[in-house]
Amino acid sequence: MRSIVCAALVCFCPFMEAAQSRNEAPAPKAAKKQPPPGALHAVNIKGNQLYSTAGILKELGLRVGQRVDPQVIEQARKKLLGTELFSNVTDEYRFSGTVPPEYNLTFEVTEIQQIFPMRFERLGMSPDAIQKYLQAHVELYADRIPGTEGVLRRYSQAVEQCIAQTHPNVKVRAAISNDDPQQLAVLFTPDIPAPTISQVTVTGNQAIDTGTILRVVNQVAVGVPLSDTRLKLILDGAIKPLYAAKGYAAVTFPKVETEPSKNNLGVVVKVEIKEGPLFTFGLIHFHGSGMDEDEIRANIPFKPGQAFNGDQVVKFRLELQHRMRRRGLLDATVTTQTQTDDSKRAVNVTYNVIPGEVYNFQTLDINGLDITAQPAISRLWGEKAGHPFNPDYPDFFLKRVRQEGIFDNLGDTHSDYTADASTHNVTVHLYFKGGKTQAQREKEKQEEKDKRTVDGSWSPWPY
């Protein structure tokens, strides 16, 4: 948006044209008079939060006292927009009636809000040293940047210049990394594939034997491309739960080193484990709704003061979520947060409960039975329409049908259900398949028994 105001004399020129008949040619328009050139008196910046006013002014390239006109102002606006740090840049200017006119400019910027932290891997320099170089050499530097092509190219070139002191001719690649789904980041690496992990070794462990640790961690680590973030997630996800199950809630990995493998093109990761002290359960909190807290506490298998066990925390979370689903809360989710209190050597646990809406059973859909058998199954079905749906009930019902021997030749049975998220109604589908009759099963059983010979030539395992 651009507005022009003359301080000496304000002229109002409406941009409306008189209505003309459909057959008449429009009257010619008068050429729009361009504002005269003048001297830049002041520049103001509005809307910026991530980037400094001084940095934006420097990027605009305008200086007080220089000769300006609308074309010069537009070029500066486009230059700022070309940084790809802003989704929009508008300008507004006023000029005086003096000779030459004096221009007061205001640029209003809209910063791109989707920004990511930066990570640096396999570049031969510490991340702190690289970021310090970028702060000094990149215009409008920020610790979090948009993932636009222009921004990534500008930062990649600066990183290349930084590491050229020790690693000349190394091309740097920048891309949005999802190694950690919880925290997307712009990852700067050499423009060559990362080596894969061929083996993990550990030292410092005492509470858990080395074989157990290596079986678990190598199962998920071997063959994975090396990445600092991915490796951290692997160690946290594979090793820490082993220790948490034994009460060690403060396990750390103070030293992680890599070296080329002697057997293949991968790398060997050497991990030092610091086990820390044993912890007990501290405070246990519940946030949310969907179940009575007294009922929850009555079923919780651990108490404050007992030895901390991470497996119990996870198992109770799943049990709690299952209990809620059996009450029709099919979308229920339960998450946990653990916080270690080093002074008390205790772990405080918080369960966050999000119940969602209650789903009600509405319709029973029976497949595989004739019109005479379907009514018998419908009469046995115990769930009532309009009542909260228990997803465990259909399989329980089919087991009951089989145990009661209602059908002589019942084969495979299974169930599923369809939940409508808009109405929160559930349709249950039961599937029946015919099989051998009881008489046929008894006959086959007798034939199998007859095959058993005294010399033991029969075997249940095929050759």
Structure tokens that stand for 80 in this block: 């700022």
State the residue for tokens 């030749």. Answer: 409
Query: For the residues of 234-289, what is the DSSP string, one character each?
Result: HHHHHTHHHHHTTT----EEEEEEEEE-SSSSSEEEEEEEE-----EEEEEEEEE-
Alpha-carbon distance 449 to 168, whole Å? 80
Q: What is the CATH number of domain 4-9+34-111?
A: 3.10.20.310
> Which amino acid appears at position 266 of this protein?
G
4-9+34-111 and 360-438 have identical folds: yes
> Which amino acid appears at position 216 of this protein?
V
Taking residue 267's Cβ as centre, other Cβ atoms within 10 Å add up to 19
Average predicted confidence (pLDDT) for the chain: 86
Domain ranges of the chain: 4-9+34-111, 115-190, 197-274, 280-354, 360-438
**How confident is residue 183, by pLDDT bands cut at 50, 70 and 90?**
confident
Alpha-carbon distance 432 to 88, whole Å? 62
Fold designation for 280-354: Ubiquitin-like (UB roll) (3.10.20)
Q: Which helix (H) or strand (E) holds 301?
A: none
Q: Which is higher by pLDDT, 342 or 178?
A: 342
Domain 115-190: which CATH number of 3.10.20, 1.20.1070, 3.40.50, 1.10.220: 3.10.20
Most distant pair of Cα atoms in the chain: their distance: 124
300, 288, 282, 390: which is closest to 335 by C-alpha?
288
The model's pLDDT over 278-312, given as tens digits with 9 standing for 90+, comes to 999 999 998 888 777 788 888 888 999 999 999 99
Beta strands in 17-85 (DSSP E): 38-46, 67-68
The whole model's pTM is what? 0.63
CATH 3.40.50.300 fits 360-438, yes or no: no
Alpha-carbon distance 387 to 33, whole Å? 75
Alpha-carbon distance 389 to 424, whole Å? 10
Bridge pairing between strands 4-6 and 86-95: parallel
166, 161, 184: which is closest to 115 by C-alpha?
184
Which architecture does CATH list for 197-274? Roll (3.10)
Who's near 155: CB < 8 A, 6+ residues apart? 118, 134, 138, 145, 174, 186, 188
Cβ-contact 149, 83 below 8 angstroms: no
**How confident is residue 370, by pLDDT bands cut at 50, 70 and 90?**
confident
The model's pLDDT over 48-107, given as tens digits with 9 standing for 90+, comes to 999 999 999 999 999 999 998 989 999 999 999 999 999 999 999 888 888 888 989 999
